[in-house]
Amino acid sequence: MARKPTLDPNEMLQKEYGYITQTAFQANEDRSRVTSFYFVTVGTFVAAILGTQFEPQNKMVSLAFFILFAVLTFMGALTIAQLARLRAAWHESVEAMNSIKEFYIENHPEVESAFKWRTKDIPPTNKPYSIANLIAVEVCMLSALTSGAGMYFLLLVIGGSNWLSWGLVIASVVIGYAAQWAWYTRLLVDDR
């Protein structure tokens, strides 16, 4: 008969806590990378456009710019989705770390004062003015501007260039921002 391996619960909890700590850290690092990639991509394309000798009468160039800005807006939506899911992953990791803390406190009440952050202190996933929240606002704003630019170039393709067309551009910026923000807040909810 084979012997059961002995397990040290403290060592298991320490390893689990270490793993959870790494996942929380990695979620924060990934948020930074995702955002930087999006900002650099949009900046590069805008710089390329500004560097061209663009003529508004050229419908093929306007169509190409419309497609480009539509793709950038879609990339903004994907970036927002990644930011939301990474924030939710960070939140789940913090909940898991606090679960281990609560276990230790329950079994060793003398260590309670060693833990400043507890389950009740976990910030909400969409904490206003947090770094995660502000980064999401930046991406939503930039993506809204790319949707407005896309609308502008689409209107050039179809021949619209009057005060009404500027109203459509502004409306696409506002609607683009609202849609991106709604998408972000919807994805922040834990699926558990």
User: Does the residue 5 lie in any domain?
Assistant: no
Residue pLDDT tens, the chain, 192 long: 667 666 566 777 787 888 888 888 888 888 888 888 888 888 887 787 777 666 667 788 889 889 999 999 999 999 999 999 989 988 888 888 888 888 888 888 888 887 777 888 888 888 899 888 999 999 999 999 999 999 999 998 988 777 788 999 999 999 999 999 999 999 987 655
Q: What pLDDT is stored for residue 22 in this prediction?
A: 86
Q: Which residues of 168-190 are buried (b: 16+ CB within 10 A; e: fewer)?
A: ebeebbeebbebbbebbeebbee
Domain that holds residue 173: 10-187
Between CA 72 and CA 79, with CA 73 as vertex, the angle to 5 degrees is: 85
User: Does the residue 26 lie in any domain?
Assistant: yes
User: Does the residue 47 lie in any domain?
Assistant: yes
User: Does the residue 14 lie in any domain?
Assistant: yes
Between CA 125 and CA 141, with CA 172 as vertex, the angle to 5 degrees is: 40
Left (φ > 0), alpha (ψ -120 to 50) or beta: where does 159 sit?
A: left
User: Does the residue 59 lie in any domain?
Assistant: yes
User: Does the residue 49 lie in any domain?
Assistant: yes
Q: How many domains does the chain have?
A: 1
Q: What pLDDT is stored for residue 190 in this prediction?
A: 63
User: Does the residue 2 lie in any domain?
Assistant: no
User: Does the residue 3 lie in any domain?
Assistant: no
